[in-house]
Amino acid sequence: MRVDGKPYTTIWAGDDGASIKIIDQTRLPHRFEIITISDVDTAARAIAEMWVRGAPLIGVTAAYGLALAMRADPADANLERASAHLKAMRPTAVNLQWAVDRVRRLLEAAPPPQRFKTAFAEAGVIARDDIALCEAIGMHGLSLIKTLVAGKPPGAPVNILTHCNAGWLATVDWGTATAPVYKAHDAGLAVHVYVDETRPRNQGAALTAFELGQHGVPHTVIADNAGGHLMQHGGIDAVIVGTDRTTASGDVCNKIGTYLKALAAKDNGVPFYVAAPSPSIDFSIADGVREVPIEIRSEAEVTHISGLTADGEVTRVRLTPEGSRALNPAFDVTPARLVTGLITERGVIEANASALAAAFREGIAG
Amino acid sequence: MRVDGKPYTTIWAGDDGASIKIIDQTRLPHRFEIITISDVDTAARAIAEMWVRGAPLIGVTAAYGLALAMRADPADANLERASAHLKAMRPTAVNLQWAVDRVRRLLEAAPPPQRFKTAFAEAGVIARDDIALCEAIGMHGLSLIKTLVAGKPPGAPVNILTHCNAGWLATVDWGTATAPVYKAHDAGLAVHVYVDETRPRNQGAALTAFELGQHGVPHTVIADNAGGHLMQHGGIDAVIVGTDRTTASGDVCNKIGTYLKALAAKDNGVPFYVAAPSPSIDFSIADGVREVPIEIRSEAEVTHISGLTADGEVTRVRLTPEGSRALNPAFDVTPARLVTGLITERGVIEANASALAAAFREGIAG
């Protein structure tokens, strides 16, 4: 997608063929800075310190990181060490484990002198596969948006509400929840996005607003509290969110607060779609509310916030009184009964066990 | 309630009998500062600049303001001028109009030399009436909390979720939604409050957390997004919120985001109570969603936030990218069907037209 009028992906190979470049997402939206990574330790740090975030992007970064490790030392011992090091950076990130294992298995079968080149190429394949997957979600979602456009007065924009950042910044390009929006915008359809701020980490206000704005998509930031009111008054035509984990029965674990928007959508007859790439589906879990463990993150994400001062400095401030504690669950689970449809790379399907099994388990019904 | 171990109300008469004192609420939670007000212009400024906020407190401040105007000049012309000036500070604040009219009518019947004393005394009556009203709500709510305590394991705290600040800082003392909590805490019951941050103005994180903490009530600040998740996992025993306007049919207009918590409460079988003093009831309106006008406030409340830097300075920072717009509806409407009960000064009643009419219209059913 575009930044300052120029097309970008979130990660790309350097011209030297021996480094990668990423956008430092911790600096967004106030600074747009590109970092060159030439060694596995920096790649690991990029993952641990969240210069890159979003499951697909973390996976690709780790794959490239393993390649950079092989450039320095392609021996088996280093392959083992670098794999373990990268995987430990975000232990609960499924894509990270998957991408590292995929590249490592390939390398175990390759002679050491070919390992860097093999891994670097494979990381590129993983990146391109992710772009294709997001584009497929985008095209299926575009069909949904076209249907919404048909129901609006001529020229009136379709209003999409999204939560958190399931945007291109979380993937390699296009994003998941945003892919239908970008496809619609690029096709000349009038689409406007209400962006939930997404406290406490403000991924909506910081990242989704940034990427939509840079690509030229009309959007409006709202407090997380506002979406229900907008739906009550016909202000939202559809909700599209991402998913961190989709259960076999279609429950959706996504950023904290998603469930509240799903309830409001149901109460107001607003379609609630989840952009759910197949890697997000966990067929080992059925009941999301009971079975998905929810990460409790630092209190400081609630009690403090960072922003840009009038002097142009990024500064952290405390919001709560001294002595007040905070609780910070990072995700919640939206039961399948509240989900209108899952926008997958294979089409829009119902959020239930039989539809998911039919689409992705090739007949092995759960 | 207590601050630094000392009992306070939000407004009180100075020892000189010719001034009032207030807490500068714009400085909370990072500074606790008391301002002495000796003239009507400062009283008007306190209302306009939100040194005081909350419908009851605004009303009492205006009543005292009119008294101070009479001290300076008790003539009819000044009574007229000061009344109009005070009422213009927050044109949509019903209590403000009501309190000024109440005192003005009294003064019109009084000879000018007695007007200051009469008004000052009447402002004190309005303040004491509000305290009594809040205490009555507190005692009725205490009965509800006692029932919840009976259903918990011995020693386990009752967990109450509240949104925004319907606390003693919004009234003269006790608050509305917080009154049951303070009564329970003071009665030695184990009560713990989850405080919604309440973006965009953060009244929960800044004011409710402050007042609960100072009074010694265990509490935890959460992002507005977190309440649904907590309810899914049995973490909330009841929700108690305030109301800015309650319709004849029991719909509740309260701070933006209240509706989302009511939906989650309904979905999880958690009782959802609204502390609704009778002055909040507007019998001229039935359908809250269709009929209550919702104030749209400044975008800057969403795009910027204030907090305390590590250096101890209160600083304002920007959260959103340059160029991103925001929308800031200040209230939403929770339909009566989602409200378990209204905690009024006359008891806990159902949120419907017949119950409200029976309790407050003395037989004149709407």
Q: What is the pLDDT of residues A311-345, one digit of tens each?
A: 999 999 999 999 999 999 999 999 999 999 999 99
Provide the shortest C-alpha distance from residue B229 to chain A (in Å). Answer: 5
SS3 content of chain B, % helix, strand, coil (to 5): 45, 20, 35
Q: Which residues of B are annotated as a binding site for substrate?
A: 53-55, 90, 203, 254-255
- A81 annotated among ligand-binding-site residues: no
Res. A362 pLDDT band, cuts 50 70 90: low
Q: Where are the alpha helices (DSSP H) in chain B?
A: 40-48, 55-72, 76-87, 94-108, 112-150, 179-186, 203, 209-215, 227-232, 258-268, 288-291, 300-303, 353-360
Do A112 and A182 have their domain in common?
no
Query: Given CB atoms, is A259 within the 8 Å cutoff of chain B?
Result: yes
- CB contacts < 8 A, A to B, total 233
Cα separation, B44 vs A301, whole angstroms? 37
- Does one domain contain both A171 and A295? yes
Q: Please identify among residues 141-200 of chain B the ones whose CB lies closer than 8 Å to any CB of chain A.
A: 194-195, 197-200
Q: Is the pLDDT of residue A366 over 60?
A: no
> Do A173 and A314 reside in the same domain of the chain?
yes
* Statement to judge: residues A100 and A174 lie in one domain: no
Among residues A77, A108, A128, the one where a domain terminates is A128
Q: Are residues A105 and A206 in the same domain?
A: no
What ipTM did this prediction achieve? Answer: 0.95
Percent residues over pLDDT 90 in chain A: 96
Contact A329 B210 (CB under 8 A): no
* B-chain residues near A159 (CB < 8 A): none
**Which of A163, A260, A272, A289 to mutate: most B Cβ within 10 Å?**
A260
In a domain, B281, yes or no: yes
Same structural domain, A223 and A348: yes
CB–CB of B256 and A305 under 8 A?
Answer: no
Q: Is B232 on the interface with A (CB under 8 A)?
A: yes
- Candidates A198, A222, A307; nearest CB to B327: A222
Residue A97 and residue A160 in one domain: no
By Cβ distance, the residue of A199, A213, A306 closest to B224 is A199
Give the pLDDT confidence of A50-88 residue by residue, as tens digits. Answer: 999 998 999 999 999 999 999 999 999 999 999 999 999
What is the predicted pLDDT for the residue at A93?
Answer: 79
Structural domains in chain B (count): 2
Distance CA A227, CA A254 (A): 17
In B40-79, the residues whose Cβ lies within 8 Å of chain A are none
| Within-domain flag for A298 | yes
Minimal Cα distance from A266: which residue of B? B263
Burial (CB < 10 A; 0-12, 13-18, 19+), residue A19, is middle
DSSP state of A236: -
Nearest to A259 among B228, B306, B315 (CB): B228
Beta carbons within 10 angstroms of residue B151's beta carbon: 9
Q: Which residues of A touch B200 (CB under 8 A)?
A: 197, 223, 225
Contacts with B325 from chain A: Cβ below 8 Å: 219-221
Q: Give pLDDT, residue B293.
A: 92
Binding residue per annotation — A310?
Answer: no
On whether both A243 and A342 belong to a single domain, the answer is yes
| Same-domain status, B9 and B149 | no
The upper half-sphere exposure of residue B28, i.e. CA atoms within 13 Å in the direction of its Cβ, equals: 28
The pLDDT value recorded for residue B92 is 75
Spatial strand order in the sheet of B11-13: B11-13, B20-23, B34-37
Residue type, A59: G
Per-residue pLDDT of chain B (366 residues; tens, 9 = 90+): 999 999 999 999 999 999 999 999 999 999 999 999 999 999 999 999 999 999 899 999 999 999 999 999 999 999 999 999 999 998 877 789 999 999 999 999 999 999 999 999 999 999 999 999 999 999 999 999 999 999 999 989 999 999 999 999 999 999 999 999 999 999 999 999 999 999 999 999 999 999 999 999 999 999 999 999 999 999 999 999 999 999 999 999 999 999 999 999 999 999 999 999 999 999 999 999 999 999 999 999 999 999 999 999 999 999 999 999 999 999 999 999 999 999 999 999 999 999 999 999 864 443
Q: Which of A169, A145, A173, A177 is nearest to A159 (CA)?
A: A145
Could you give the 3-state DSSP secondary structure of residue B152?
A: coil
Q: Tell me A153's DSSP state.
A: P
Range of the domain at B119: 2-128
A120 in the same domain as A75: yes
Task: For residue B158, give Cα distances in angstroms to A339, B147, B295.
Answer: 32, 10, 34
In a domain, B134, yes or no: no
Q: What is the pLDDT of residue B363?
A: 45
Residue in A225, A308, A318 nearest the CB of B260: A225
Q: Are A176 and A242 in contact (CB under 8 A)?
A: yes
Task: Kindly state whether residues A59 and A197 are assigned to the same domain.
Answer: no
Q: Comparing A95-104, A330-339, A356-365, B100-109, which segment has the lowest mean pLDDT?
A: A356-365
Residue B244 annotated to the active site: yes
Domain of residue B338, CATH code: 3.40.50.10470
Residue B220 belongs to what H/E stretch?
Answer: strand B219-222
User: Is residue A6 in a domain?
Assistant: yes
Chain A residues with CB under 8 Å of B256 CB are: 223, 225-226, 229
Pairing mode of beta strands B20-23, B252-255: unpaired
Q: How far apart are the first and last CA of chain A?
A: 38
Strand partners, B160: B193, B238
Alpha-helical (H) ranges within A205-316 are: 209-215, 227-232, 258-268, 288-291, 300-303
Cβ within 8 Å, pair B225-A256? yes
Q: Same domain for B275 and B320?
A: yes
Decide if A134 is inside a domain: no
Q: Which residues of A touch B224 (CB under 8 A)?
A: 199, 223-225, 257
Q: What is the pTM of this model?
A: 0.96
pLDDT digits (tens, 9 = 90+) for A198-238: 999 999 999 999 999 999 999 999 999 999 999 999 999 99
A220 with B259: Cβ contact below 8 A: no
